Each structure stands twice: as structure tokens, then as C-alpha cells.
Structure 1
Amino acid sequence: MTSKNNSDAHEDDSLGVLDEAASLDTTALGVLGQTAQVSVSLPNSAEDDDLVDDSVVDGEIASDEEIVIGVIEVPLVETDAPQVKASVEQDAAPAASEVDDSDDRVGDDTVVADLVVAPVVREKPAEALTAKRFGEQQGQSSRETADLLTSDRLLNPSQLTKPEPEGAWSHLLYTISGRRINLGDGKRARERKALTARISSPFAGGARFVPVLSRKGGVGKTTITALLGMALADARDDRVIAVDANPDRGTLADRILRTNDKSVRDLVRIQAEVKGFHDISAIVARDTTRLDVLASDSDPRVAEAFSDDDYRDVARVAAHYYSMVLTDTGTGIVHSVMGATLDLADQIVIVSGLSVDEARLASETLTWLESNGYEAQARNAIIVLNQSTPGSPLVRLNELEAHFRTRAKNVVRMPYDTHIAGGGAIVFTSLQPETRQAARELAALLVEGLRAKAA
């Protein structure tokens, strides 16, 4: 550091001598390489007033006071800051307004220190964004594991082959073009697949219980139970069972190709011994659509003994192995198993015939449910208007449907089908297209209602 004399009147060799009152308290920081230099204070003492010419030798200050200069070693710091140049001015306090030629002192001195901060900047290399799962801790980031080889990453979409289209015109064009022109599925095929997707929609949680009710016999309650179960089992991947809980010799098992003579009474008897699904499969009868049916007792005297507690035991076992449990209840509302059936019900299906008295009984069923603590089930119920006789019905279906839509959530029309009217086993693929469509629409509405309730 050098102190410069700014007085033009002083022309002798008294260089580097400060006024007696002058003091310099300046900190100058310069970072050169890895060294920080710090210059601090010069003495300010009255004893230094008698500095003589002998104190200046070859431009250096000779004094009894020690000039403190500190040098601090600091580590190199990586920074993004640009080079900074700073000028610090420190005015020494003047001791006199004039310069005395007889004294080798300098007044009104101004010390200017130019500081240059030039840190060494080293840019960090950008880290490559690569997929890495293997050897990350060992620094082997370029190695990938096999799970990163996905079809979306490797397969070229333009080279993938579309599935064979469904539909008359689409399939014809696909065939005559040598499988080069694929327009996709036709309208009916798209609608059918969309309906299948609605039926097969999964829902979380345990088994769902759906009783099928009617206040009057002969309206097709058992038939609707079988059709609904077949439509569900045909489209879904989980298990569906239909339980015949009719205490008056139910005929649900007669509507499928029965393979054994076991009944619901057999399941009640072995309920404590059931260890797996193979114990259940030995008792139920399975349809071609994979619908399992648990038949009622063929002897009415034994069937009458099937009680509310027995149904609860059957339901508890079925809930372990099935996602949906349909129940074909007895005729009427008040009978031996109706209490347990309604208590476990997640959603209700009510079947009505196409006559005035049958429609009234179905509407009164809703009233009874609302009056006995089942308002939610009545409000979300599905009403099936089943036509069990050929020809045009005597009632106006539009008026009948409009009435039930004011009381229940959904209404479905089930058309007359000669395959059903015969009274034998129902083969789902042998039904008329309109009947299968209605059964599948009923199944879709049921699944959507159960999913909405779960949400």
C-alpha cells in the first residue's frame, strides 16, 4: 500500500509520511489465486509527530510503530459471480489546514485503494438425465435394468397390427383387401364392447348383495334373476352366484343346465367345514356363462325350514368367494328370509308384470320399503317391466315407465322371448338379440349403481 502526497507545495523527499493526526483504517481485500490479503491500520499517535527526514529511506517509512499487514489463506470458492473491481476511498482527518515546510508531514492526505476481486470460477458439468436403475450407488449410471424395456418405448406404432374388425362392411373390406385396409369395428360392435366395459367395471370392497323382489307370482322374478346373473357372469372376470332363497320350492336351478342335486341346505350343513372354493363348487351348479346357482330344496316341507339365520349363514360363506350375490326371494315381502335379505341388500331389483294389478303391486312394494326403513334402497331400485306373454301388452308401456321413473332410479323393459317362455333351461347365446341386450343393459345399470354407492 502506498500513501501519495496530494499537496503541490511540498517538493522535498518526505515521501510516505502522514500527518500527525492522520489515521488510516482501511480494509482492502484482494483474492489472488487462493490467497486473501487484508491491509489494516496505520498508527495514529502523537508520539510520531517528530518524524524526521531520516525516517524515510529510499521511499520506505521507518518508524518505531509496527505496520500490521495480515495475510489469510482461504480456500478456493466456486462461484458464478463475475469479476468485481471496487474502489475504496478513505479520507484521513486533517491535522492542519496548511502544510508546514519545516515539518516533514503531509496534510489532507487521501488514500485510494483499488481492489480487484477475481475469483476463479469453475462451472459444474451438467448432469446427464438418463434412465438408470442399476448400480446408481456404484457410479454405473449408464447401465439400465430390464424393466425399462417397455413396449411403449421399443415398439413402432406404425408397425403394430390392429385386431380384426367386427362388423359386416368393415370385415368385408378387410378381407377383400388382403387384410391391408382396417377401418375398425362397426357401430354395433363398438356399442356392444362399450356395454361390456360398463358391465365389467370393477368395484372395491367386499361382496355385493342384490335381491330380486316381486309381490306377485308369475311375473318372471326367477327368470330375471337368471338373465341378470348370466349377463354379469358372461362379461365380468370375478365370480357371480345366484342363491334361490324361495321357501316354497324355487325353480332357479331349473333355468340352467343343472349338473348336481345339491341345494342350499347342503351348504348350511357344511358351512363350518368350508376351507376353500372347491368345497363350494361341489355344491353349486354352473352355467355356460360361469354363473353359479345355489338351488333351493326340492321338497317344500324341507324348504319351509330355511330361515332367516340360515340365509345369513349362506350369505357369510358366499361373501368369501363371490363378488356379487343375487338372491331370488320368495313371493311377497313378509316371509322367513326377507328380513335378512333386505338388511344385506346393497341394491334392489323389483320385477313387475305388464298388467294393472301387477304394476300396482310393484309400486306398493316401493311404498312398503320406504315405510319400513329402506328408503335408500327404494330410491335406487331398478324396476324391470317384464313381458312374459306374447303379443302387444294391454297397458301403455310409456305411461307405466313414466310412473316408475318418479319413484325409482332406473326402469328396464324385458321383451318377450320364446326361448324363455318354454320354461326350460335358458342358454344365454340362444336368446333373441333384443333380450340379451335388455339383460346386459340391466346388468350395466346394476354395476353402475353399486359403483356409485361405493364412491
Structure 2
Amino acid sequence: MADKPEEPERGDLAPRDDEPTFRPSPLEIDTKLSIAVDLPPAPPQEVPEDEAAVAIDDIPVDPGFVASPTEPTTTSVAIVASRLATGPTATQQDAGDGVVPLPGQDGHSDAFAQSRRDRLRGEHSPQPEPAAMLTADRLLEVNRKTRPGPEGPWQRFVYNVTFRTVNLGDSAKVRARKELDHRIQKQFEGGTRFVPVLTRKGGVGKTTITTLLGMALADAREDRIIAVDANPDRGTLSERVPKQTRATVRDVVHKAASIGGFTDFSALVSRDETRLDILASDTDPLLSEAFDENDYNVVADLAARFYSIVLTDCGTGIVHSVMRATLQRADEIVIVSGGSVDEARLASETLTWLEANGYTDLVRNAVVALNTATHATNLVKLEEIESHFRSRVREIVRIPYDPQLAAGSVVNWKDLKPLTKLSARALAALVVEGLPAERA
């Protein structure tokens, strides 16, 4: 009998013809396999701001390690919320600061935007709110009873005929007027804003522009506006409103120690129908020349206690000490130019003098009021004057001819031509937009 062929040992992996192929389990391999692969670092992934994904902490994995089925192991994996793109930096987290500061709490953001449009209904503010935030559109529910009636002839007619059930809204003209009002009514925080009105040329209408600007501001705003005549050469600002007192800036200086409130101060000013207060200059040229830098600072300090905006009607003496004190307090300036060649040139030279004396920022933020009621306006190209100033300042506004202004007497706001009032309101809106909303 032939010998039976010898069976292979268990270590021999060669299969026999009469048995199925046998593949060992990876668990029966005693040797661990380690593979080293050099991969370039993955680029950092930015998480979209509108998503809040989760990230798994990086855990080293051995590709040759396989857990034994008889000895199961448990690995804890930490799940952490991924950082948004605008979250704190690694340095901040290492220092223990894991809280992202809210807007307005880092000392660099505006505390308030004077509006609740960017916040949800009923959401609390992170900081105490000023009284200006309690507006009618925030507190009142808009319905048939609280919604105001439309302005405009046709809109009002439809509103009345339908027994106040159909409200077409305001006309386009009324909407434009209200939008201009909204720009002028910008709220300020942190003190009084000072706006000098000046130029080196006399007779171009500085006093007229100061009066128009002050009336436009006082007519649209709810806070107090005052115009101070700081012309050392016998200013005429007080003659543009009905005179209610004979007091001047000299009286304010003499009585400064006894002025304890707004009632005391208001007895020294004249007020017109728009609620613009006017503080007159001295009528005696000898006394007015004695009004110097220190006197102006006394008047300005008192005005800053009671008024939100102080307009200063400056004289032509740009090197006078009063001008130095005025410019040191200025938040913005208004340059007045006439429509003639020499008036426009002297207005431009005023800007050059300001730049040469360290007031470059005021020049860049300045507004030029182009008074077209001056002599020889019809003989020059106003577009060329505007083009010149547009290269140097922020904005230019044309003030049209108006018989009431040309008379050089009392100005009644309600009697001005519509175009004149519109130009004055446009000037007021531009001036307000150039003033800082907040001040430290």
C-alpha cells in the first residue's frame, strides 16, 4: 500500500487540492505594520459665519493597530464647537479670554447707532439706552389708528373719501422732505458741536449763510441751536432776527459767574420763529475790538452747557485771536464764497491758509456755501468755481438769490422762497453729516 502523502504543517499556508482556500485573519498576524507617509499640511478651512459645525479634536491613529475582539477598548473623543471665522484668536484663548466681546464693549465700536432696525424685536441692549431711543416708531403699533395720514393732495383726498381705510402713503415730494429732515435730525452724544462760518473776504454773505444754516437746523431739530456773532469788526448777525434784548457777548462775559442755568443765559439772546438763538456782538467798534480769545472761550464754555450745536459767525480777520480760539474748538467749518472771481479766489486762499496752519482735516471735511446773490454772479461760470472747490473740500451747496436775503434785514423763515429753504436745508444736512456722532 502506497504511503499516505505527508500533510503540511499548520504553518504551511499552501492549500490542498481537496480543501478550500484558507486565508488567515488579520488578528492572527503577530507582526504590526507601520507606514509613514509625508503629507503636505492641509490648508486651514474657514467656517462660514452662518454655520456652526462641530470639530473632532485631532487624535493620532496607528494604522497597524487593530483592537482585539476579545479585549474591546473604549476611546473617548472630545467634541468641541468649531470657532467661527470672527471668533477669538489663539492668543486670546491661551490667555483665558474665551468670550468674544459684544459690539460696543471693546471700547472701539459705537455704543449706539440711534436705531433698533438691526436688533430683533424686544431684544435687550448690552448697554444703557439714551432717551433718544424711545421713539414713536419703536413704541407704537402701526395700525389704522396710529398710522399717520398721508401728505399730498391726491393721497389725502383718497384717504378722506375712503373714510381713512385707503392710505396710499406720502407723495414723492413729501418723502424727500422727510428724508432730508431725518438727515438733519442726526443725534449726537458727548457734548456740543462747534461749526465756524468763515472766509477772508468781507461782503460775501457769511452772516446770511450763518442765519440760514441756523434756521434750517433749529426748524428741523428738537435740541437747542445758537449762532454767536464773533466778528470783532461790528457784526450784524443780531439784525437778521427780531431783536428781543440789547445784551451782547460782552454782557455774557461780565455775567458769566452769575449764570446758573438756561433761563439766565436765554435772557441774553434773541430767538426767532424757528427757535434759533442769536447772541449779538458789541455795537461799539472799540468794545468789539477788545473781544479777544479769552472772552470767546468764556462764551463758548457757557454755550456748551445749554446747546447741542454752536454756529460762529467769524470776521474777516483770520489771524485775530478770536479766530484761533474758534478753530481750536471747531468740529467742522463752512467756507462762504461769492460768485465773482476775487470772492472765489479769496475763499480758496482761506483753505490754503488753514492747510498751512495745521487744519488740513477741517479743510477736507469742509462744506463750501456758494452765495450766488453777490455782485457779478451772472458773469462767471459757477460750474468752474464748484469744480475747483470740489477738489479741495467735501461738499458744495449753491445758495440762490432771494429778495428777502438781499435786503439785509430781518429774515423770516416761512417767507423765504421754496428753493432758498431747500438749499438751506441741504446745507444743514451736509453739515450735520460731517459732525462726529459721538465724542469721548
Question: Closer, same or farther in 2 for the Cα pair 1:154/1:221, shift >3 Å?
Answer: closer
Matching residue of 2:169: 184
Distance 1:292 1:315 in 2: 14
Matching residue of 1:103: none
SS of structure 2 residue aligned to 1:311: helix
Could you state the TM-score of these two structures normalised by the residue count of structure 2? 0.66
Displacement of 1:389 = 4.2
Q: Residue deviations 1:165-206, cap 9 Å, x none?
A: 111221222233333322011001001011001101101111
Distance 1:172 1:198 in 2: 29
Q: Paired residue for 1:435, among 409, 413, 420?
A: 420
SS of structure 2 residue aligned to 1:350: strand
Distance 2:193 2:262 in 1: 18
Superposition RMSD in Å = 2.3
Letter aligned with residue 238 of structure 1: D
Q: Paired residue for 2:289, among 295, 301, 304?
A: 304
| Equivalences for residues 290-301 of structure 1 within 5 A | 290-301=275-286
Matching residue of 2:394: 409
Q: Are the counterparts in 1 of residues 189 and 437 from structure 2 also a CA contact under 8 Å?
A: no
- Whose strand fraction is larger, Structure 1's or Structure 2's? 1
Tell me, yes or no, if structure 1 residue 418 matches structure 2 residue 400. Answer: no
Distance 1:394 1:350 in 2: 22
Matching residue of 2:373: 388
SS of structure 1 residue aligned to 2:369: strand
Q: Are the counterparts in 1 of residues 339 and 376 from structure 2 also a CA contact under 8 Å?
A: no
Matching residue of 2:270: 285
Question: Closer, same or farther in 2 for the Cα pair 1:176/1:372, shift >3 Å?
Answer: same
Q: Residue deviations 1:354-385, cap 9 Å, x none?
A: 01111000111111000001111111111110
Q: Residue deviations 1:190-231, cap 9 Å, x none?
A: 010110011011011111111000111110000000110111
Matching residue of 1:242: 227
Tell me, yes or no, if structure 1 residue 357 matches structure 2 residue 325. Answer: no
Task: Give the unaligned 5+ runs of structure 1.
Answer: 1-130, 132-150
| Equivalences for residues 14-25 of structure 1 within 5 A | none
Letter aligned with residue 282 of structure 2: D
Question: Closer, same or farther in 2 for the Cα pair 1:187/1:391, shift >3 Å?
Answer: farther
Distance 1:416 1:152 in 2: 38
Distance 2:176 2:240 in 1: 28
Distance 2:140 2:222 in 1: 29
Distance 2:211 2:370 in 1: 15
Q: Paired residue for 1:211, among 190, 196, 199?
A: 196
Question: Closer, same or farther in 2 for the Cα pair 1:304/1:390, shift >3 Å?
Answer: closer
Task: Give the unaligned 5+ runs of structure 2.
Answer: 1-121, 123-135
SS of structure 2 residue aligned to 1:383: strand
**Higher relative CO (CA 8 A, sep ≥ 6), structure 1 or 2?**
2
Tell me, yes or no, if structure 1 residue 165 matches structure 2 residue 129. Answer: no
Q: Residue deviations 1:266-307, cap 9 Å, x none?
A: 000011121111110110111111111100011111111101
Displacement of 1:331 = 1.4
Distance 2:392 2:229 in 1: 27
Q: Paired residue for 1:367, among 329, 344, 352?
A: 352
Letter aligned with residue 179 of structure 2: A
SS of structure 2 residue aligned to 1:243: strand
Displacement of 1:162 = 2.7
Displacement of 1:154 = 12
Q: Are the counterparts in 1 of residues 189 and 438 from structure 2 also a CA contact under 8 Å?
A: no
Q: Are the counterparts in 2 of residues 247 and 336 from structure 1 also a CA contact under 8 Å?
A: no
| Equivalences for residues 42-441 of structure 1 within 5 A | 159-389=144-374, 393-441=378-426
SS of structure 2 residue aligned to 1:393: helix
Letter aligned with residue 376 of structure 1: D
Distance 1:317 1:218 in 2: 29
Distance 1:451 1:408 in 2: 17
Question: Closer, same or farther in 2 for the Cα pair 1:179/1:395, shift >3 Å?
Answer: same
Matching residue of 2:130: none
Letter aligned with residue 413 of structure 2: F
Question: Closer, same or farther in 2 for the Cα pair 1:216/1:172, shift >3 Å?
Answer: same
Letter aligned with residue 355 of structure 1: S
Distance 1:220 1:327 in 2: 14
Q: Residue deviations 1:381-408, cap 9 Å, x none?
A: 1111001248962211211111101000
Distance 1:432 1:176 in 2: 32
Q: Are the counterparts in 2 of residues 216 and 332 from structure 1 also a CA contact under 8 Å?
A: no
**Which entry has the higher C-alpha Rg, 1 or 2?**
1
Distance 1:399 1:278 in 2: 48
Matching residue of 1:143: none
After TM superposition, the structure 1 stretch with the greater mean CA deviation from structure 2, 281-290 or 383-392, is 383-392
Q: Are the counterparts in 2 of residues 306 and 336 from structure 1 also a CA contact under 8 Å?
A: no
Distance 2:287 2:137 in 1: 61
Question: Closer, same or farther in 2 for the Cα pair 1:152/1:382, shift >3 Å?
Answer: closer
Displacement of 1:152 = 11
Question: Closer, same or farther in 2 for the Cα pair 1:391/1:177, shift >3 Å?
Answer: farther
Letter aligned with residue 186 of structure 2: S
Displacement of 1:328 = 0.3
Distance 1:236 1:363 in 2: 31
Distance 1:370 1:277 in 2: 37
Distance 2:334 2:157 in 1: 42
Letter aligned with residue 349 of structure 1: V
